[in-house]
Amino acid sequence: MTHRRGMIGMATIAVALAAPAIGATDEAHDFSRYKVITDRAPFCTATGAAAAAQPSFAARYVFVGVVSTTEDNRPLAIIEDKERNNRIYFKAEGETIDSTKVVKVEQSPAKLVLQQGLEVATLLYQARGGNLPPAAAPAPGTFTRAQPVQRRIPFRRGGNE
């Protein structure tokens, strides 16, 4: 037991002697090595620097149009998801796509309100042109041949003619 007390006493003395040596290095501490961290401002934007705006969650969606159901005449929004290979959704008010909720669907003017968490976004319908190029009109005085129509061949059973 006295051996244990002796060991504890020696450990206490060693800690007490090492403490001034640790404190002595703090006085001559150079903060220039932390300049890289303060330049990046990890906890706030630096003054004078413009904060880069994050894209809205609604940037992944395209409002294609509105249709009405025949049962209850409820408008359904046609929504295209660009992040999921242009997948199309038909959603009514209150329904969700992943974590995005359809808040409001209006037909006239066509408007869609989406909400994800606390962020709310409004998408307006904008008519998009078709992807096909316009067909070239034939020159005046020329005739175009109509495409052949597939016809059925009559079939009779038996050898009676």
**pLDDT tens digit string along 29-40?**
787 888 888 777
pTM across the whole model? 0.48
Predicted confidence (pLDDT) at residue 41 exceeds the cutoff of 80:
no
Which one has a higher pLDDT value, 142 or 12? Answer: 12
> SS3 for 76?
strand
CATH topology of domain 57-124: SH3 type barrels. (2.30.30)
Phi, psi of 78 (to 5 degrees): -100, 115
SS3 category, 116: strand
List own/partner pairs for 3-6 with CB under 8 A and 24 or more apart. none
Q: Could you state, in order of their start, the residue ranges of all structural domains in the chain? A: 2-27, 57-124
Report d(CA 40, CA 20) in Å as an integer: 34
| pLDDT score at 50 | 47
Percentage of the chain exceeding pLDDT 90 = 26
State the Cα–Cα distance between residues 58 and 77, nearest whole angstrom.
Answer: 14
Higher-scoring residue by pLDDT: 62, 19: 62
Instruction: Quote the CA–CA distance of 38 and 65 in Å, as a whole number.
Output: 49
